[in-house]
Structure 1
Amino acid sequence: MTYVYLMKNEKPLNSDIITKHVEYLKKLKSEERLLLCGPFTDYPGGMVVFSAEGIEEAISIAKTDPLISSGCKSFEIRTIELANEENNYLI
């Protein structure tokens, strides 16, 4: 399944937490879980789109992100059904 965790800024970031977050994203990428990620330009936060076996695993993955586990960001998680050429954009 595909999930997204939406993050909202709660506390200021520092370079150590950002570095740990990037390493975490690289780990998700190496596991072929990471699909898309980045900060919002019009909202104080960002998102990570990734694959997981189920909602419990998805929540665990989000909570393990150093930005979240440090308390710098809170999160909401959503399940997303990807629309693409392969599924005719869900028509």
Structure 2
Amino acid sequence: MLLTLNPGKELTEKLIKEHVHYLKKLESENKLELCGPFSDYKGGMIIIKAKSYEEAKEIAELDPFVISRVESYEIRTWELSCKENNHMGMG
């Protein structure tokens, strides 16, 4: 899930704390893999575990950054290339 700061919007301390609380909730539900802001771009990325695109969209739309319309989101599905899957059968 890619988050992008919307033009003319600002992140407040209160909103950031609400977002972190939401991330902690996802973590407690074993749905959060990794997350953090970009150092070279106004936004961040959240890698979540979801069973479907619809579940991922629901998770994204419940994020306080998105609810407040301070940030917009884009969902990407990701296939891992790793030793365990022989780099997607090509390794």
Gaps of 5+ in 2: none
Counterparts of 1:23 and 1:83, CA distance in 2: 31
- The residue type equivalent to 1:38 in the other structure is G
Superposed displacement of residue 85, structure 1: 2.9
Paired residue total = 87
Gaps of 5+ in 1: none
Q: Deviations over 1:10-66 (max 9, x none)?
A: 110111110010011111111111111110111111010011111111101001010
1:9 pairs, out of 1, 5, 9, with: 5
1:20 pairs, out of 18, 22, 32, with: 18
The 5-angstrom pairing of residues 67-86 of structure 1 reads: 67-86=65-84
TM-score normalised according to structure 2 size: 0.89
TM-score normalised according to structure 1 size: 0.89
- The residue type equivalent to 1:55 in the other structure is Y
- The residue type equivalent to 2:46 in the other structure is V
More strand by share: 1
Counterparts of 2:5 and 2:31, CA distance in 1: 24
- The residue type equivalent to 1:51 in the other structure is K
Rg larger in 1 or in 2?
A: 2
Q: Percent identity?
A: 49
Tell me how large the CA RMSD over aligned residues is: 1.0
Structure with higher RCO (Cα < 8 A, 6+ apart)? 1
What's 1:53 paired with?
Answer: 51
